[in-house]
Amino acid sequence: MNPTDDTNGNGIIFNIQKYSVHDGPGIRTVVFLKGCPLRCEWCSNPESQATRIQLAYNTGRCLGLSQCVRCVEMCLSGAISRGEDERIVIDRALCAECTRDCTSVCPSNALITYGVRRTVREVLRTVEQDSLFYARSGGGMTLSGGEPLMQGDFALALLREARKRRIGTAVETCGHVQWETLDEACRLTRTLLFDLKHVDPARHEAGTGVTSTLILENFRRVMEHHPKLHVMVRTPVIPGFNDDEAAISAILDVLAPYPHVEYSLLPYHRLGTQKYHFLGREAPMGEVKLDDKRMASLSRLVAARRG
């Protein structure tokens, strides 16, 4: 094999989503890489957090034990057993070591795995199907996650192969990654979507599990080393975490020296809640909702400061 050819390199992704119109310029395909160094309470993609492949169970789709017991019969490790209300119970600790594919026998896709190993070539073959749409719209491929740069070699190989196939790229990052990886990604990508969630290190740690220090440092270095890169900064507005003027103002202060950077707020939503349940977890944020008036006033603040 040619040592510079890394198209056989592979990584774990959990989705490829066509016609994405909120993740960078134009019409895009988003490749979701699994694994994230943060544990945001509000995460709308809980399946993205662990790097490993995970079993998920959608009770709403399950036909019920009186109709179908295929998975129970398939499971030799005892991880899947009969529960109440027609549903199965999964002991995820027993599951971890098993290699039998119990999801393949599920008729209704109630039992699925989050995560699949794919080569760079396989991913790009799918991404390239929509190349005509990218050409017409200035779109392309967006790497998202999780934190796509956590699978650094795989992410960079995807970016290189996309460049070879003349597909525009964007990378969404939480910023909490090795500088060398981020630096190389900035060289390869056309657009960088950088999340700034909170400036205060302690508040950041309380909400995400890590401090803001490395993130802010990486952001500064991106600005310094890649001054011409198209950068879009985004802040998910989370109730009780950063939905106040002080928090957003502090982020605006960080951005103040960089007028060319696009900035937007993303209102918190609860559409990920179901997926926590599929993974056997409770959604940490519960039923909390973002206050519309607060959101509107923060949007006005941003509009006033960024023009």
Residues that bind another protein (CB under 8 A): 15, 17-23, 26-27, 30, 32, 44-45, 63, 67-68, 70, 107-109, 129-130, 132-133, 136-139, 144, 234, 236, 266-267, 269, 271-272
Closest CB 59 distance from another protein, rounded Å: 15
Closest CB 274 distance from another protein, rounded Å: 11
Contact by Cβ (8 Å): 45, 275:
yes
Q: Which residues of 104-134 are buried (b: 16+ CB within 10 A; e: fewer)?
A: ebbeeebbbebbeebbbebbbeebbebbebb
Question: CA dihedral in degrees (222, 150, 130, 140; nearest 10)?
Answer: 0
201 vs 272 by CB, closer to another protein: 272
28 vs 198 by CB, closer to another protein: 28
Rounded distance, CA 238 to CA 205, Å?
Answer: 14
Closest CB 169 distance from another protein, rounded Å: 17
107 vs 284 by CB, closer to another protein: 107
133 vs 276 by CB, closer to another protein: 133
Closest CB 280 distance from another protein, rounded Å: 20
Closest CB 64 distance from another protein, rounded Å: 9
DSSP state letters, 178-229: -HHHHHHHHHH-SEEEEE---SSHHHHHHHHSS-SHHHHHHHHHHHHH-TTS
C-alpha closest to that of 115 among 130, 131, 101: 101
Closest CB 79 distance from another protein, rounded Å: 21
6 vs 23 by CB, closer to another protein: 23
18 vs 220 by CB, closer to another protein: 18
Closest CB 142 distance from another protein, rounded Å: 11
Give burial (CB, 10 Å; 0-12/13-18/19+) of 260: exposed
151 vs 160 by CB, closer to another protein: 151
Give the Å distances, CA to CA, from 258 to 4, 226, 252, 254: 36, 12, 10, 8
126 vs 211 by CB, closer to another protein: 126
Closest CB 15 distance from another protein, rounded Å: 8
Rounded distance, CA 219 to CA 183, Å?
Answer: 11
C-alpha closest to that of 14 among 45, 44, 37, 42: 45
C-alpha closest to that of 55 among 39, 40, 37, 77: 77
